[in-house]
Structure 1
Amino acid sequence: MDWNPALIWIAIALLLGLAELSSGGLVLLALAVAAVLTSALAAMGLSLPWQLLGMGIFSGLLVPLAIMVIRPWFSPRGVAYGTTGTGVEKGHTYTTLKRDFDGASGVKINGDFYRLRVEATGETDLPEETRVVFKRFDGTTAIVSHCQEDRNQKHQKE
């Protein structure tokens, strides 16, 4: 079998398509489609520099299209995507807990323990089961404020 440039681009597209099965981000799928379109350029007899230019142009058009237009079709409605630290958790209420091995106060956000610091006072040791509102991250420290409900209950008890 003779490997011409069009077949090489098809093989690259197939590999990118297979890799997309493990990622799910649609970026590799967009690159696979760009490689298929580039194989059409190779089949027309264009030289390698023109093929690479075509791949760049196709990728530049298809990757943003896949991320901004097509990916939201596959996402559930009402889900705020983002990883911890991107601001998705801002304003959520959490309950403090103590870490087993050193007794540090912290909150569990998305399954991970983060030490805390109260924004107003700089306090880092709060009683367990204290409700706090997450504000932001400072490195790996969660900056929080006291939950207004807890403050109101404290004043009513006094």
Structure 2
Amino acid sequence: MDWNPAVIWLIVALLLGLAELTTGGLVLLALGAAAALTAALAGLGLSLPWQLLGMGVFSGVLVPLAVWIIRPRFSPRGVAYGTTGTGVEKGHTYRTLVRDFDGATGVKINGDFYRLRVADSDAKSGITELPPGTRVVFQTFDGTTAIVHLAHPAPDSRANHHTE
């Protein structure tokens, strides 16, 4: 087998494509496609600096295309990736959970566990522990701590939608 630059770029493209299977963000797939296109440049006999320039240009075009245009088409409806902490969760009702390994009380928002603090309590020594299953309404984040307030006793149809 002849190890010319085109073959090496194709191997890089395949490895990036395989690595994409572990992420699902389509970034590595876009980089793999850029590497495959760069293999075509190497096959045409362009020198290494031109290959690297081509890889940069292809990556600069394909990565934003994959992230901003293609990925949203494959995302489930109603899921806004990258928005946790931007305020879209404000006012949603969640149920508290207790984490197994350290007993911390928190809520799961978009699949991630966040410790909580009740908003009406003192910031330094505020209430951070609630019984599991307590309904709380998310207000904002303070770093990685979810600031919540207790939900009204009336049933909330969103409570089951946002809990896991």
- TM-score interval, normalised by the smaller of the two chains: 0.7 to 0.9
Alignment check: 8 A CA contact 2:20 2:26 kept:
yes
**In the alignment, does 2:11 pair up with 1:11?**
yes
Name which structure has the greater RCO, CA cutoff 8 Å, separation 6+.
2
- Output the amino acid matched with 2:67: I
Aligned to 2:141: 137
Q: Report the TM-score when normalising by structure 1.
A: 0.74
Q: Report the TM-score when normalising by structure 2.
A: 0.72
1:107 alignment partner, SS class: strand
Comparing 62-71 with 106-115, greater Cα deviation is found at: 106-115
Aligned to 1:50: 50
Aligned to 2:62: 62
Aligned to 1:26: 26
Structure richer in helix, relative to its length: 1
Comparing 79-88 with 43-52, greater Cα deviation is found at: 79-88
Structure 1: unaligned runs, 5 residues or longer: 152-158
Alignment check: 8 A CA contact 2:136 2:148 kept:
yes
- Output the amino acid matched with 2:145: T
Alignment check: 8 A CA contact 1:90 1:134 kept:
yes
1:142 alignment partner, SS class: strand
Structure 2: unaligned runs, 5 residues or longer: 155-164
Q: Give the superposed CA RMSD.
A: 3.1
Kindly state the Cα deviation for residue 48 of structure 1 after the two structures are TM-superposed: 0.5
Kindly state the Cα deviation for residue 74 of structure 1 after the two structures are TM-superposed: 1.1
Work out the number of aligned pairs and report it. 148
Kindly state the Cα deviation for residue 2 of structure 1 after the two structures are TM-superposed: 2.0
- Output the amino acid matched with 2:27: V
1:3 alignment partner, SS class: coil
- Output the amino acid matched with 2:143: G
Kindly state the Cα deviation for residue 136 of structure 1 after the two structures are TM-superposed: 1.6
Kindly state the Cα deviation for residue 112 of structure 1 after the two structures are TM-superposed: 3.0
- Output the amino acid matched with 2:43: A
Kindly state the Cα deviation for residue 7 of structure 1 after the two structures are TM-superposed: 1.3
Alignment check: 8 A CA contact 2:114 2:145 kept:
no
Matches of 1:36 and 1:96, distance apart in 2: 47
Kindly state the Cα deviation for residue 141 of structure 1 after the two structures are TM-superposed: 2.6
- Output the amino acid matched with 1:124: I
2:45 alignment partner, SS class: coil
